[in-house]
A = this chain, B = another copy of it.
Amino acid sequence: MQYNNTNMGASKTEHFTEKQNTIATIAKAMGHPARIAILDYILKMDTCICGDIVNALPLAQPTISQHLKELKNAGLIKGNIEGNAICYCIDESALQTMQKYFGQITTKLEKKKTTCC
């Protein structure tokens, strides 16, 4: 076998396409219920979230701060603190990337007429 690393526990991202890594990164950031709850909460508000997110979720403040950071790194939210209040809102670009991906899947599936499984 030509792949002989022992870098266990770590993803071998270098073996996949940039697009595959992009989709996986965004999906991974969405792969935790607390982060979905944060996205839901931002969407529920009329404006971006300004301070009350810690009270709205059953997690400690450092934990939420960490989740927000991951969502931001994945490009799902943007913004920053303003004064001494948080100010985050949805970043549509990552969402559009995902919607486009699912759209392409749907298109491909419609072309396939197999009845295998």
A88 and B117: CB pair below 8 A?
Answer: yes
Q: How many copies of the polypeptide does the oligomer hold?
A: 2
A88 to B, closest residue via Cβ: B117
B13 and A33: CB pair below 8 A?
Answer: yes
A30 vs B102: C-alpha distance when bound (angstroms): 12
* 27 pairs of residues in contact across A and B, judged by CB atoms under 8 Å: A1-B60, A3-B59, A3-B60, A11-B32, A12-B59, A13-B33, A15-B57, A15-B59, A16-B33, A16-B34, A20-B37, A23-B30, A23-B33, A24-B33, A24-B36, A28-B28, A29-B31, A43-B108, A43-B109, A46-B112, A48-B117, A87-B117, A89-B117, A90-B109, A95-B106, A95-B109, A98-B102
